[in-house]
Amino acid sequence: MKNILDTGIKVIKNVDSYEFGLDSIFNINKIVEKKIASLDLSKRVVVFVDEYFKNSEIISVFDKYEIVFVSTKIEPTTDGVDLIMQELKSFSRDKPSVIIGFGGGITMDTAKACANLFNNNGPSEKFQGWDLIENPGVYKIGIPTISGTGAEATRTCVLTNKSSGLKLGMNSDHTVFDYVIMDPNLLKTVPKSQFFFTGMDAYIHCLELLEGSYRNPVGDAFSKQTISLCREVFNSSDMFSHASREKIMVASFLGGSSIAMSYVGIVHPFSAGLGVVLGIHHCEANCIVMNAMEEFYPKYFKEFHELAKKQGVNIRKGIASSLSESDYDALYNSTIIHEKPLFNALGTDFRKILTRDKVKQIFKKM
Ligand code: NAD
Ligand code: ZN
């Protein structure tokens, strides 16, 4: 019998090249020029920039390129990405030779999705799933400005499909960035709570992997190191110190690399429910779900709260404590739909454990 967890991925595709270091952002022009000069390619370069940087001096490094500011009010949707593609195609008939994503997970995922869609005809929802992208996308460079999701390293770009209620990425080798620049200076301006929420995504990905049944020795090693780095950062007195910014950037990259070989567990399906139904952003939603994970991940539940306390970060409570029954139905449906991670965490009987009533009780604890 085919195991539900078997995606058929036996060979892991990682980022082709990456560099790490202070001021490495200033190498971007060299990398782009080298790429464009290497073939007779169009000179069009599109940079997706997190809107936070609209008035920031740093984006003068992209002066020569076409900039698309990405709003981070809501997380990427299939409709939103299709709209951006329509605008990019109507702006110029030239296909870009290089696409850059400069920002957090929202911006990097938008860049990854569009890079795929230039060489694979949409709509984007066609590619939500595993290995549905046929042609390699446009050459793409990821530059994280906040760390934790690992979007710079993974083979996915997460999109919410409002009509199907599915929060699922384009999982494909073609979604992996060709080049990544990690410059710890870029993290200096991240607000404190957001730094914690996003950083903890790396910790949560890896605890879910280590507590799951679908394991891989390489994934385990990456995960253990990720958790250890997160502990150092969030136990330190200054999570914004140079050393901490370096560590969280590495943790994010390793955490993203580890999750490519396995699955998450219980936190992410519940977090997706909060995202789809209540519009709560991924990383904060994960932290809210951790409030209700004592039964499933007791050791990490305790540690998570100690780390939040150490950093003086408040995790919202009561967010799903008194909703309508139709909201609980919607939350149940958008949680239980994530069968691979739930199977990974709870086995074949996950539906018997996570009954509709049990799921409601768990949401009420948040
Ligand atoms: P984000 O893109 O959601 O941004 C969070 C906030 O931080 C925004 O307000 C943004 O403007 C701000 N910000 C980013 N960098 C900043 C900086 N240097 N200074 C000041 N403010 C800054 O960040 P995220 O938490 O990294 O990403 C969440 C997204 O990532 C979700 O859409 C989630 O689904 C996705 N995700 C993707 C993967 C993947 O493998 N592709 C994995 C996990 C999560
Ligand atoms: Zn995550």
Task: Tell how far the Cα of 283 is from the centroid of ligand 1, in angstroms.
Answer: 8
Rounded to the nearest 10°, the torsion over CA 182, 183, 186, 190 is: 60
Which are the contacts of 111, defined by CB distance < 8 A and separation ≥ 6? 48, 99, 100, 101, 140, 142
- Report the interhelical angle of 298-310 vs 217-235 (nearest 10°): 30
Distance CA 263, CA 206 (A): 9
The H or E element that residue 257 is part of is helix 242-259
Cβ of 334 closer than 6 Å to ligand 1, yes or no, is no
The ligand that comes nearest to the alpha carbon of residue 258 is: 1
Which are the contacts of 57, defined by CB distance < 8 A and separation ≥ 6? none
Distance CA 62, CA 324 (A): 48
Distance CA 92, CA 76 (A): 23
Cβ of 150 closer than 6 Å to ligand 1, yes or no, is yes
Cβ of 151 closer than 6 Å to ligand 1, yes or no, is yes
- For residue 21, is it left (φ>0), alpha (ψ between -120 and 50) or beta? left
Cβ of 180 closer than 6 Å to ligand 1, yes or no, is no
Cβ of 77 closer than 6 Å to ligand 1, yes or no, is no
Tens-place pLDDT, residues 82-95 = 999 999 999 999 99
Cβ of 146 closer than 6 Å to ligand 1, yes or no, is yes
Nearest in space to 111 (alpha carbons), one of 60, 148, 65, 42: 65
Tens-place pLDDT, residues 210-246 = 999 998 899 999 999 999 999 999 999 999 999 999 9
Task: Tell how far the Cα of 197 is from the centroid of ligand 1, in angstroms.
Answer: 10
Task: Tell how far the Cα of 146 is from the centroid of ligand 1, in angstroms.
Answer: 6
Whether the CB-CB separation of 172 and 127 falls below 8 Å is answered with yes
Distance CA 137, CA 142 (A): 14
Task: Tell how far the Cα of 68 is from the centroid of ligand 2, in angstroms.
Answer: 25
**The dihedral sign for the CA sequence 58, 60, 66, 68:** positive
Render each residue's pLDDT in the chain as its tens digit; 366 residues. Answer: 567 666 656 688 999 999 999 999 999 999 999 999 887 778 899 999 999 999 999 999 999 999 999 999 999 999 999 999 999 999 999 999 999 999 999 999 999 999 999 999 999 999 998 899 999 999 999 999 999 999 999 999 999 998 887 888 999 999 999 999 999 999 999 999 999 999 999 999 999 999 999 988 999 999 999 999 999 999 999 999 999 999 999 999 999 999 888 899 999 999 999 999 999 999 999 999 999 999 999 999 999 999 999 999 999 999 999 999 999 999 999 999 999 999 999 999 999 999 999 999 999 999
Mutate which of 15, 72, 284 for ligand 1? The one with the most ligand atoms within 8 Å of its CB, which is 72
Task: Tell how far the Cα of 357 is from the centroid of ligand 1, in angstroms.
Answer: 32
Residue count of the chain: 366
Query: In a 10 Å sphere around its CB, with 0-12 CB exposed, 13-18 middle and 19+ buried, how is residue 163 labelled?
Result: exposed
Cβ of 155 closer than 6 Å to ligand 1, yes or no, is no
Question: What would the two tokens of residue 9 be?
Answer: 């991925």
Cβ of 208 closer than 6 Å to ligand 1, yes or no, is no
Pairing of strands 139-144, 98-103: parallel
Cα separations in angstroms, 362 against 269, 294, 321:
12, 10, 9
Mean pLDDT of the chain: 95
